[in-house]
A and B are shown apart, each in its own frame.
Chain A
Amino acid sequence: MASKREVNLIVSALLLVSAYAFAQPPGYQKPDPPFYTFDVPLDINFNITQPPCMSVDGNVPAYVTATTLANMPSGPGAANLAPCAAGSSFASSGSIFVNPPVNFNDSGNTMTISTTDTTAPSYSPAYGPNWTGATGVTYEQQFYAPPGSQIALSYLINGNGYVTIDVVSPCPDPPGDCVVGSTGATPTYGAFTSTGLPGASPTPIGAPTANNAVLKLPPFTVSSMGTYVVGIWVTTGFQYPFPYNQAPYSISVSAGCGIDATLGNNGLDEITGVAWPTLTTLLSQSATLCGYSGFDWQQWITNLPCPNPFEAAVPGNLPFANFCPSPTLTPFALTAGNSGFGSTSAPFLDAPQGGYTYAIVSVADQWDPLGPYNPYPFYTTAGIAETPGALVPAWVGDPPGFVPHPVNFENKMLYFYDGPSDACLDTAGPLLPAAAAALLARRALDCGGSTSTAPPGSYIGFQTSLVGINTDGSSGPPLFTWTWTDTFNGTAGNISSLVTKYPVDPGSGVGNVSITSINGVPVPPIIPPTQVSTTASGLAYSRVTKTFDGTVTLTNISGITLTTPTSFQLVLNSLPTGVTLVNSMGTFNQCPYITIPALLSLTPGQSVTIAVQFSNPSNATINFTPEFYAGSFQ
């Protein structure tokens, strides 16, 4: 028999759903929407007493705000939801689930991410002062979604007790325009017990322990832009109040398809990425959770100037517009975006269907026959990306050296690597005489003449996504997307290449990779290490703060003044596991960063020194890859 508390929970949630279910316009046809997933680890150990609000005029980037409430509004209280009013408060209906009321006083914790952003915000507020004895807490996540968004949420709940997830819309502008998430007939989407299994009896079986339970909400589509609310209601029995048998005392909530990614080597001449499961142990488990057979990368060439040496093995698979216009020096070369010769064309997949003429499989394997390497529609052949330890096949003319496996042997990491090179790019920069001569020779072969180049300032543009592999072999929607450019004009394996698996040849050219956006959020320009040097002091250990403290000095080693419209940022990429930057001012690309205060320019030779403070409980050797950006992170 359901307890009074449970009855109240269900009735309240039904009222919430019914209040909004009929707001959907009659005759509404579900569009073919973009698909957004959230992968937002949330921590309800904090409170925002003044929930931040969001513009609903559609002119702001999509984002999410979060707040913890004393009680999940229910019944008539739900009508009081006003998330778009500055300083709004969320009325409590006087739930019996909190005894005493959960009353957090922390403030200032706001996450701002795009609806497509899977970057995990970090929170560090102290545990709420009045948790002791509480038997119910709620967490409310609000997000702004553009029209047509399809939202899918799955949550990992780690805690004891039961959980209920409601999706409602407070209908910001005008009332009635919003769509209730199609979350089914009952507002309860999962409950977990000490077994940790969703949907199990809400009655604890013995003393509950901290468990993980994955609760999935079916995808739903929103028809208008607005603010939508996901309420997560976690309760325990009175006999097991918070904190109970939890170490640490926390309930973490994450949402999304259970996979996240980060990027590396921005500003260098190669780019790397890595994706890993967040809700499960293995990639394959996460893929199953998301309904995929695996994960892969998908890359589009969004800009490729002419001339260039890249030709499709099966030209007929591409529109005429994707070939360099005549007259050019390489008439069969592919192009995208601005050709530099008066024409524009749509992006094409890298590699195009049928592959490139330069990448020919020399030794067939179970996934790739002899002939052009053809991973279409992915960047890596799907079978290889689904098989731990499988290698990209050998190509004709492969140089000896590193051969990557896109998925590691442990089935926990999916790697991305690219080091595009195009000798026809006219990137300015110093080269040793021998390398300069080699570049001219390469241009004679690749560009139609030793003096032929793409217009000065040209670049190759890319859009790369982490995607799921559908069971029919097609590509699922993007789960993590970034855009980037490359200006490197040397070689990789002594040839120009797009899809590649080998590092660029050192000193063979100039230019670098530059990430321009991650999940739709613009990335400020990176200042490559050829322009800024980074040095550091030793790290003294303080027993008072239990931190390793030192300084990092950045010096402009270029011949020009470096400027920023807002501020410079130092990102500490690739910190060892367990090492955290205590004085971080936020995270970018999963990495902590420090904003350099009151500095808008750095003249040649000028240095700036900033303090760094690391927490390193395991006493590991601390190291990182510095990245220096001229602009703020949104």
Chain B
Amino acid sequence: MRFLWLFCAVSAIAGPITYDVTVDTSSISGTAGSLDFNFNPGPLVTQFASLQILNFTSDGALAGNCPCGIGDVTGQLPSTLTFDNGTGFNDYFDDFTYGDTISFAVSLFGPALSSPDGVSTSGSTFAFSMFSDPVGTTPVLTTDTTDGFAFTIDVNLDGSTTVNNFSPETTVVAADAAGVPEPASFALVGAAIASLCLFLRRRARPLPGDFKTH
């Protein structure tokens, strides 16, 4: 019985939300530029969240002039990068000579996504930018000429995420979209599991009516 409740608790924790990112960089192939990733909290009370950059692949060349991270960032591309929103500025910036494509996955996880506390007042935001210069001043492959973001992902207060894509050359799609439920789906699934647990728990002990039959 104790094992059964443990199972139910674990089931209530949602998995990461993952996006697959692909960028067609063929128009700037050969350009010695730079890439920037940052994941920061908001200016009010922010619940903890983490993010990983996974499976970074490209026919371009990373300079690897690292350390490249500032704040709560670990790892080095093309290996996995892990961010969390524990400090105000969590950034990874590296020189990069563009090839024809870049692809990677962005995986978001942590309490802000799996169990929103309902009292936090700020979300967190991930931003990815590409530049045509090594110092990161001239953005490329984006229509966001003001800030230079290729795309951003907001972690919302209800645990959902919102993608804002400013780059026609970039696709950002939920990994296994069918497996990335909306918050309402989480609620439905949670309710179903809870009902199942209650049902099984009830089945595990005699019911008052059962005594009557003896």
Contacts and interface: CB of A to CB of B under 8 A. Distances in A.
Interface of A: 533-545, 547-550, 552, 612, 614, 616, 619-624, 626
Contacts of B152: 540
A544 B89 contact: no
Contact of B137 (A544, A547, A621): A544
B87 A543 contact: no
Contacts of A535: 44, 121-123, 157
8 contacts: A536-B44, A538-B124, A543-B136, A543-B148, A545-B146, A549-B147, A550-B125, A552-B43
Contacts of B157: 535
B41 interface: yes
B71 interface: yes
Contacts of A537: 42, 122-123, 125, 154
Query: Could you tell me the dominant secondary structure of chain B's interface residues?
Result: strand
A533 B71 CA distance: 30
Contacts of A614: 43
Nearest to B34: A543
Interface residues of B, number: 37
A119 to B, nearest CB: 23
B149 A536 contact: no
A544 B124 contact: no
A156 to B, nearest CB: 32
Contacts of B137: 543-544
Given A543-B131, A544-B147, A549-B147, A538 B121 contact: no
A536 B87 contact: no
A583 B121 CA distance: 21
Contacts of A624: 43-44
Given A539-B88, A545-B147, A614-B43, 16 more contacts: A536-B121, A536-B122, A537-B42, A537-B122, A538-B41, A538-B46, A538-B123, A539-B40, A539-B43, A540-B149, A541-B89, A541-B91, A542-B127, A543-B36, A548-B89, A616-B89
B85 interface: yes
B89 A538 contact: no
Contacts of A538: 39-42, 46, 85, 122-126, 154-155
A550 B43 CA distance: 9
B163 to A, nearest CB: 13
A539 B149 contact: no
B154 to A, nearest CB: 5
Nearest to B120: A535
Contacts of B97: none
Contacts of A622: 43, 88
A559 B88 CA distance: 35
Contacts of A623: 43-44
Interface string B139-168: 100000011110010110100000000000
